[in-house]
Amino acid sequence: MATTEGTIRLTTAQAIIRWLSNQYIVIDGQEMRICGGGFGIFGHGNVTCLGEALNGVREELPLYRGQNEQSMGFAAAGYAKQWLRQRFMFCTASAGPGTANLLTAAGLAHANRLPMLMLCGDTFITRLPDPVLQQMENFNDPTFGVNDAFKPVTRYWDRICHPAQVIQSLPSALATMLDPADCGPAFIGLPQDVQGWTYDYPEAFFAKKVHRIRRQSPDTAEIADAVAALKAAERPMIIAGGGVQYSRAVDELTAFAETHQIPVVETIAGRANMLATHDLNIGPIGVTGSDSANAVAEKADVILAVGTRLQDFTTGSWTAFAKDAQFISINAARHDAGKHMSLPVVGDAKLSLSALCDALSYTAPDAWVQFAKDGRAKWDDYVAENVRPGNRPNSYAQAIGGVNDLCEPRDRVVAAAGGLPAEVTANWRTLGIGTVDVEFGFSCMGYEIAGAWGARIAQMEQEPEQDTITFCGDGSYLMLNSDIYSSVLSRKKLIILLLDNGGFAVINKLQNNTGNESFNNLLADCPTIPEPFGVDFVAHAASMGAASEKVANPAELAEAFKRAKASDKTYVIVMDVDAYEGWTTEGHAWWEVGTPHISESGRVNEAHKDWEADRERQRRGV
């Protein structure tokens, strides 16, 4: 590291890591590194140079050893969610398949607008040894490789071809990850030779820097338009999305709703914006929502959408609302604020809600508010019966209700993909603000355990006395379970509720609901499986160092959960659930699914007609 005056000679890899370790942020008055560390699996594409650099900062940037690159990315996403996008983790993978395994995780982070930095090996920039191990050769473009596949699923992408590039690339990547409108994953490709090349970097580049997340003030004209629309409303409602939490605008949302007495419904990402006991919380909306929220949505004439990208599970593929309802969308991202002919309010949710509240002199009609509250009371009664043990064969809802009764208010709950997002969204009663992570933006099977591990790492930095609880189906477990081992190795305890329904049961349900016969989803219906048998999940989890047990029913699950709470290590509780009779049957909105327009099956033909009958309610906005 010979230096001249004002410079320091470092390798590219050393410069990246030194810079990263000197970036800070202030959260709740406490200054901390903006990067919490990383997840890594070394190979020839990153071990010799990046690995050497990381070894020197093992205390400042702890590196968690991954078991699978995809799950590393999921863990990074779970970490970022827990920190409300104020901090992030990096993932490092080798050239070739190691890096390619991160693609799905990058898609998840992109869809959910989450910061994650990928530092991935690449082929040699000189091309002298080409073709090298794991290189994908493109005959017509030698610069084109596996790493280019990340361009559609990242917000920032660069390939470092010279050590000096990092002086511009790293700040640009971080700026993207911290920007509320453009937040998402950043990818930096690191050719194996360039990683080790040296450059005389300006020492000032590595000076400690404290960053802030921008809060964009709304345009006064857009606020005025929103005020005018709300003043004319006879049946207003608020859709609260995940952006409310990322903007730390929960208090402003609550104050706005209370001041103007406007009913609030939550998206899947926005679950836990309000406690279940708040009298203006009318429930979750959409395809996996509640009768109460969907009844309000159907009648609302003005809809204030805050921090939501209005995906199809929220909107019922745009059939959940009156066709002439006026949307007002508060969002930091212009792209989201203008959807479906909304009156856009482009700006930070916290600042925008405050400005709107100050400018608005209005209270929703009493009869409308009471209609919404009455609907929520009926929905609460339904949920209470739906989660009651013994009301039908073992179900997801019963397991969710049992855990809900026994967990602490600040415990974090994680679910993803399959049937559990719907069941958690519909049946979970929020005990603490910001305590629910249902990954349904990219709906990734396998996030349940890996994402929970990342969330637990962050939670240990914030509220170590609380638990991270994840609900997982047998299909997701078999797809990606190795971070049980990671959690045990790193002493980051998880409580895993493994609910076994014998296959991919929720997709089997969709298959049946569209008139199709059960085929290749449940193990019992796979023609290539002569003799189906269940996995011994208890033994499997125990082999990775977790405490584990199987229970026969929800009552036994409740007792096992108490033991899991008392345990000091990862605990897996397995319970069989019914694949056919265990579903929540109320609270749904229409969802557009491609069905065959013609079939030799009469049931499929009838199902297509029934499904298409609701299409006439679909809004034709943009």
Mean pLDDT computed over 183-190: 98
Which residues have CB under 8 Å from 581's CB, separation 6+?
392, 393, 395
**Cα separation of 445 and 439, whole Å?**
9
The span from the CA of 56 to the CA of 80, in Å, is: 24
Nearest to 190 by CA among 272, 105, 122, 94: 122
pLDDT of res. 58: 95
What is the separation, in whole angstroms, between the first and last Cα of the chain?
56
Residue 430 phi, psi (nearest 5): -65, 125
Would the pLDDT of 622 be above 60?
no
pLDDT > 90 in the chain, percent: 96
pLDDT value for 301: 98
Structure tokens at 316: 């019922």
Exposed e or buried b per residue across 187-199, where buried means at least 16 C-beta atoms within 10 angstroms of its C-beta: bbbbbbbbbbbeb
Token pair for residue 267?
């998206």
User: What's the CA gap between 1 and 457, in Å, rounded?
Assistant: 34
Beta bridge partner(s), residue 283:
265
* Region 414-420 average pLDDT: 95
Identify which of 433, 425, 435 has the alpha carbon closest to the alpha carbon of residue 81.
435
How many alpha carbons fall within 13 Å on the CB side of residue 380?
14
Return mean pLDDT, the chain. 96
pLDDT-derived band at 575 (thresholds 50, 70, 90) equals: very high
Mean pLDDT calculated for residue range 193-204: 98
Please report the pLDDT score of residue 3 as a whole number: 61
Q: Which helix (H) or strand (E) holds 254?
A: helix 250-260
Confidence of residue 134 (pLDDT cuts 50, 70, 90): confident
Topology of the domain comprising 220-377? Rossmann fold (3.40.50)
Using CA atoms of 459, 25, 42, 102 in order, give the dihedral in degrees to the nearest 10: 80
State mean pLDDT over 391-420: 97
Instruction: Decide the pairing of beta strands 436-439 and 35-40.
Output: unpaired
Phi, psi of 349 (to 5 degrees): -65, -40
Query: What is the rounded CA–CA span in Å between residue 410 and residue 430?
Result: 10
Determine the Cα angle at 264 with ends 261 and 266, to 5°: 170
Decide: 607 and 513 in contact? Cβ < 8 Å: yes
For residue 5, what pLDDT is reported? 79
pLDDT of residue 532: 93
Predicted pLDDT of residue 292: 98
Q: What is the DSSP letter of 318?
A: T
Tell whether the model's pLDDT for residue 358 goes beyond 90.
Answer: yes
Q: Residue 447: pLDDT above 80?
A: yes
Q: Which among 171, 166, 206 has a CA at the least distance from the CA of 49?
A: 166
| Rounded Cα gap, residues 10 and 23, in angstroms | 18
Residue 2 pLDDT > 70: no
Instruction: Please report, for the chain, the start and end positions of each structural domain, with discontinuous segments joined by +.
Output: 7-211, 220-377, 387-576
pLDDT in tens, 452-482: 999 999 999 999 999 999 999 999 999 999 9
How distant, in Å, are the alpha carbons of 88, 117, 181, 210, 322 from that of 24?
A: 11, 15, 20, 5, 47
pLDDT band at 254 (very low <50, low <70, confident <90, very high): very high
The CATH number given to 7-211 is: 3.40.50.970
CATH number of this structure's domain 387-576, picked from the four choices 1.20.120.530, 3.40.50.970, 1.10.340.30, 3.40.630.30: 3.40.50.970
DSSP 555-591: HHHHHHHHHHHH-SS-EEEEEE--SSS-S--SS----
Alpha-carbon distance of 459 to 575, in angstroms, equals: 27
From the list 236, 223, 264, 265, the residue with the least C-alpha distance to 363 is 236
* Neighbour order of strands in the sheet with 547-551: 436-439, 412-416, 468-473, 495-500, 571-576, 547-551
pLDDT in tens, 64-120: 999 999 999 999 999 999 999 999 999 999 999 999 999 999 999 999 999 999 999
Structural contact between residues 239 and 308, judged by C-beta atoms closer than 8 angstroms: yes
Beta strand pairing call for 30-33 and 23-27: antiparallel
Same fold, 7-211 and 387-576: yes
User: In the chain, what is the greatest distance between 2 CA atoms, to the nearest angstrom?
Assistant: 82
Rounded CA gap, 227 and 361, in Å? 9
Best CA proximity match to 546, nearest among 499, 476, 503, 482: 482
Beta bridge partners of 30: 27
Q: What is the DSSP letter of 268?
A: S
Residue 305 to residues 220, 226, 264, 602, 605: CA-CA distances in angstroms? Answer: 18, 11, 10, 41, 37
Banded pLDDT at 574 (limits 50, 70, 90): very high
Paired tokens of 408:
């602490």
Closest CA to 397 of 521, 567, 557, 184: 557
| Dihedral pair phi/psi, residue 267, rounded to 5° | -80, 175
Per-residue pLDDT band at 25 (split at 50, 70, 90): very high
Q: Which pTM value belongs to this model?
A: 0.97
Residues 258-291: pLDDT tens digits? 999 999 999 999 999 999 999 999 999 999 999 9
Please compute the mean of the pLDDT values over residues 317-340 and round it to a whole number. 95
* DSSP 8-state secondary structure symbol assigned to residue 216: P
Tell me: pLDDT of 136 over 90: no
Angle, CA of 261, 327 and 154, to the nearest 5°: 115
